[in-house]
Structure 1
Amino acid sequence: MVGSGKTSVAARVQDQPSRWGIVVVVAAHMSLALIAFCQSSGSVFYLSWRSEFDTNAKETAAISSIMTCVCSFSMFVGGVMIQRCGCKLVGIIGGVLTTLGMLGSVWVQTISQLYLTAVVAGVGLGMAKNTALVAVALHFKNGYTTANALACSGSGTGKMAAPPLIQLLLDYFGLRGALLVTSAIVANMVVFGTLFRKPRTDRKSGLDHRSIDKLTEMTDVDFQIVHANDAVEMALESDSSSDDSDATMNHSETHTNIEEGQSNVSSTTHNTSFRAWKLKLNPIRKMWSGLGLGVFRKSYRFSLLCLLAFISAIPYYGAGLFIIPRAESIGVALSSAAFLLSLNGIGSLLGRLVNGLLISYNLSAEIVCSICAAGAGASVLLLNADNYVCLSVASFLLGLFTGVFYAVAIVLVRRYVGCRRFSVCLGIYYICVGLGGLFGPVAAGWVFDISNSYKTVFYALAGVDFICCILMFLFPVLKRVEPGIKDHQTNEVN
């Protein structure tokens, strides 16, 4: 009974990649590309929205902040829904909500109404993003780093394609026509969501996600009860198959084994009932455990990773919003300024593709993240140069370093918490990213409104990146003192 339970749990992740796993990687790549396409549209529409609604920099930047923040927060909701409903249904729902949000922005008349449509689109983006990342993790155990790199590179593809295409749409169709075409492009997320079906081993086992979760949540006391019951059954079998010559001796030994098994069952049952009674008296603890928040007590490195997610998101989203206005301030044409974001997308695409190679070259994932944080800070500083070539190099390097950072961070989340908690903990991680994404553009816009200087904004954002780099040196220290999390699928402590 115990063995079958462990086998069913381990079956949630494919030991060997299947043919459909390749389809899932391609679908995840395209879905993440459309998500990045939608998110990057805020940077291209920034000046048009500011002119259309006659708002200041902070109020217009809040559109991207709201979409980014809600997207990251809804990833946690998507993670909980994935455990109950599966990746396919959640991916379809996410695509529909994103399309409705972008479509509704075509008819808005005030900036407040645009905030509302940004919320709807952000909810759909978060659910679809979590679905794409978790679907790849479920289909790959061996070669997951490579599969994750190929899927995450879709974000770079979307960031690369969005600026020139949306700028072309703005030139030909205007603001509202461009938004209408963008919503039609984003609607393809629904199609890709239908491809995130269960791994083959899940379907063969005949277990749904709810029954699998019940198996994986069995405590050590539950397994003791199973072992005690097995001892009683073995003792009874031994009693029935004993020979006549030593019947008296075996009979006494059998009854001794039965009494020991029954005493173990009674003691473990008592402990289990006491724990259940204690859990009923503490609904907060029950909710804490159900949402997976107990991971913070066991994995200090995951807690630090969430803090770094918040800090690193501030300059990432804050600097990206001001690349085009910064280029225009030194006399660069609007079309050429939009190409800077395409260079950022190209760098992000390459960074997400090569992150697996960097990890394999005798460099730990933590060291790679630290190097990338320092490189991102240097790239933000380079944005202060009054030269289009320097701005192009800085934009490319910023995309490269941040692309590697966020792709490796996903691998670290899976390493620190295991596969069973991956969807929920990925949602928790992106909540921290969303908080940084909410604070970053608004804070950058506030600094610009006060100083009226893009250089001041970039100096402040670069300092935040360097702080993030310094904090990463705490990972080895936390590894030695944390309890660790036992992954039931690999029987290893993460």
Structure 2
Amino acid sequence: MNPVSANHRLFYGWVVVAAAFAVTFVGFGSAYTFSAFVPSLQHDFGASRGSVSLVFSLAGFLYFAFGVVSGPLADRWGARSLAMLGMLLVGAGLALASVARTMVEVYAAYGLGVGLGVGCAYVPAIGAVQRWFIARRGFASGIAVSGIGVGTLVMPPLASWLIDTLGWRSAYLALGSLAAVIGIGMSCFIVNDPRERGIGPDGFPLAIGEPLRVSAGASLWEAIRSSQFVGLYAACLICSFSVFIPFVHLVPYALDHHIDQPAAVLLLGIIGVGSTLGRFFLGSLADRIGRPSFLLMMFIGMAGSLAIWVIATNFWSLSAFALLFGIFYGGWVAILPTVVMDHFGGRHVSSIIGVLYTSVAIGTLIGPTAAGFIFDISHSYTLPILTSVGLNIIAASIAALTVRTSARMATAD
């Protein structure tokens, strides 16, 4: 019998999941509106597509790289205060971007504000979710990070409407206010560990004498020296050079193929639909088939979907790409924290996730910007997209090797 149901009370772990969902919704949702702002920024500042793309790449680099700082801080001080600070920074960054007078000021406001803000909040919030669950960890993590998918579905069309109605500057101000109010408010409900509320993971009672804070698991140094971590890091690094290119360049690509602005922005929303499906439904599937093998499937799926983008030139073919890419991208994001928790335990899970996400940070900094400058030179996205397919195939190969190595080690033990 479920220990929580006996008392007819909601297991507080689901409240933590809801809070993490809200943080990822407004944080990443605000960040992924960027593609809707590209034409306005190019027009008002006379900037090339590559230089405008660097705004997103800088923010993406920071919000993944900063996890290496926010993760250890959350392990020591708790996730709530880090998440609240992060959401405040996101709101402030968007508000300051609304009054920027040069591209350099956009880099500083959006790049630093949104980048550091999401970096402050994301790893601590997702790390906290991992500690609250064991049996349904993949499902719970999938729901928490599905906020990214729902944010990608809701926020770009909202941003497009705000731009058309108010102009891009007022649109940034409105999005910043929304991010601060919802993000800070929901962050208040994050609790770092179930033992702080006198219960164990999944709502089971604590054993007599069990400590009130989690103590089991590898140290950060033990984790990063392991073959499992090295394999995960390499696969995520190579994959990340390509995975965020659609979030910056899909709308300009669609506009280049004579698709009107509302329909082009809708493609980002379709990625959000797929991402939500991938995070929400595939997380529980991963619990059943094995999370490492599931991760391998996500790399293969992203490679296959990006191959569709190479030949997609109209709205419906681009919609098919966007939906499939979103599903596999969403599954990839959902499963990474749970794989870390499975391998290395909960004692330093936020720190380990933070270090792992530096791989994603490097890829995010380089990939979308490089794609933009290649387009400026060649006036085509064919080379960046084909390269993206190949990189995901390489990432899948590394993941397969890591899964086999881990299985051999488990058999030897």
| Fold similarity call, TM over 0.5 | yes
Equivalent in 11, 36, 41 of residue 44 of structure 1: 36
Q: Is 2:195–2:213's contact at 8 Å kept on the other side of the alignment? A: no
The one-letter amino acid of 2:291's match is: A
**Residues 299-338 of structure 1: pairs in structure 2 closer than 5 A:** 299-338=226-265
Q: Deviations over 1:412-445 (max 9, x none)?
A: 1111111112110010111111111111111211
Q: CA deviation at 1:94?
A: 1.1
Helix, strand or coil at the partner of 1:142: coil
The answer (yes or no) to whether the contact 1:23–1:195 under 8 Å persists in 2 is: yes
Indicate the residue corresponding to 1:378 in structure 2. 304
Q: 1:18, CA displacement in angstroms? A: 5.7
The equivalent of 1:267 in structure 2 is none
2:21 paired with 1:54: no
SS in 1 for 2:66: helix
What amino acid is aligned across from residue 140 of structure 2 in structure 1? Answer: A
Q: Match of 2:358?
A: 431
Question: Which residue of 1 is the match for residue 377 of structure 2?
Answer: 450
* 1:217-228 equivalences in 2 (<5 Å): none
**Length-normalised TM-score, structure 2:** 0.89
More deviation, 388-397/304-313: 304-313
Q: Which residue is equivalent to 1:136? A: 129
- Residue 293 of structure 2 corresponds to which residue in structure 1? 367
Residue 388 of structure 2 is aligned to residue 461 of structure 1: yes
- Output one character per residue of 1:34-74: Cα deviation in whole Å (capped at 9) or x when no partner: 12211102111112111121111111100000000000111
**2:73 equivalent in structure 1:** 81
Q: Which residue of 2 aligns with 1:181?
A: 174
SS at match of 1:419: coil
Amino acid at match of 1:192: M
CA deviation after TM superposition for structure 1 residue 400, in Å: 0.7
Q: Structure 1 residues 103 and 358, CA, compared in 2 at 3 Å: closer, same or farther? A: same
User: Matches of 1:216 and 1:397 in 2, distance apart?
Assistant: 38
**CA distance in 2 between partners of 1:439 and 1:113 (Å):** 20
Instruction: Please name the residue that 1:28 is paired with.
Output: 20
1:125 aligns with 2:118: yes
The answer to whether the Cα contact below 8 Å between 1:351 and 1:404 also exists between their aligned partners in 2 is yes
In the alignment, the residues of structure 2 paired with residue 200 and residue 465 of structure 1 have an alpha-carbon distance, to the nearest angstrom, of: 37
Structure 2 letter corresponding to 1:457: P
After superposition, the C-alpha distances for 1:131-177 in whole angstroms (9 at most, x for unaligned) are 22022122223322221121111111000001211000000000101
Aligned: 1:194 with 2:188: yes
One-letter amino acid of the counterpart of residue 156, structure 2? P
* Whole-Å separation in 1 of the counterparts to 2:354 and 2:10: 26
The amino acid across from 1:427 in the alignment is G
Shift of the 476–456 alpha-carbon distance from structure 1 to 2, 3 Å rule, reads closer
**Alpha carbons 2:75, 2:348 under 8 Å: kept:** no
Aligned to 2:268: 341
Which among 66, 90, 94 is matched to residue 98 of structure 1?
90
Alignment-derived partner of residue 19 in structure 1? 11
351, 361, 364: which one aligns with 2:278? 351
Match of 1:233 in 2: none
8 A Cα contact 2:31 2:114, kept in partner: no
* Residue of 90, 94, 108 corresponding to 2:100: 108
Q: Sequence identity, in percent?
A: 25
Distance 1:381 1:453 in 2: 15
In structure 2, how many angstroms separate the alpha carbons of the residues matched to 1:476 and 1:455?
Answer: 32
Structure 1 position 295 matched with structure 2 position 295:
no
| 1:66 paired residue number | 58
What residue identity is the alignment partner of 1:296? I
Q: Secondary structure at 1:195's aligned position in 2?
A: coil
Among 461, 476, 482, which residue is 2:403 paired with? 476
Cα deviation for residue 345 of structure 1 reads 0.4
Distance 1:456 1:481 in 2: 38
Give yes or no for contact 2:216–2:346 (8 Å, CA) kept in 1: no
Structure whose alpha-carbon radius of gyration is higher? 1
Change (3 A) 1:158 1:133: same
Q: Secondary structure at the residue paired with 1:453?
A: coil
Q: Is the 8 A contact 2:138 2:334 kept in 1?
A: no
How big is the shift at 1:357?
3.4
Instruction: Name the SS of the counterpart of 2:221 in structure 1.
Output: coil
**Do 1:348 and 1:400's aligned partners in 2 also have CA atoms closer than 8 Å?**
yes
Give the drift of 1:371. Answer: 2.2
Give the letter for the 2:321 counterpart.
A
Secondary structure of 1:108's aligned partner: coil
Cα distance in 1 for partners of 2:41, 2:235 equals 31
How many residues are paired up?
Answer: 390
Distance 2:409 2:99 in 1: 52
Normalization by structure 1: what TM-score?
0.75
Tell me the distance in 2 between the aligned counterparts of 1:356 and 1:376: 16
> 1:353 & 1:162 partners in 2: Cα distance?
19
8 Å CA contact 2:139–2:287 kept in 1: the answer is no
1:169 aligns with 2:169: no
Deviation at 1:365, TM superposition (A): 2.2
Unaligned runs of 5+ in 2: 1-8, 200-210
Report SS of the residue matched to 2:190: coil
* Map 1:383-398 → 2, pairs under 5 A: 383=309, 384-398=311-325
Whole-Å Cα distance in 2 between the matches of residues 330 and 121 of structure 1?
Answer: 30
SS of 2:135's equivalent in the other structure is coil
- The corresponding residue for 2:202 is none
Corresponding residue number in structure 2 for 1:235: none
For 2:390, what is the secondary structure of its paired residue? helix
Cα shift at 1:370:
2.1
Query: CA offsets, 1:272-316, max 9 Å, x none?
Result: xxxxxxxxxxxxxxxxx7xx234222x211111111111111111
Change (3 A) 1:476 1:386: closer
Change (3 A) 1:359 1:216: closer
Q: Counterparts of 1:146 and 1:190 in 2: how far apart (Å)?
A: 25
- 1:427-485 deviation digits (Å, cap 9, x = unpaired): 0111111111111111211221222112222112222112212222211343267699x
Structure 1: how far apart are the matches of 2:76 and 2:318? 46
1:309-356 Cα offsets, whole Å, 9 max, x none, are 111111111233111111111211100111111000000000001223
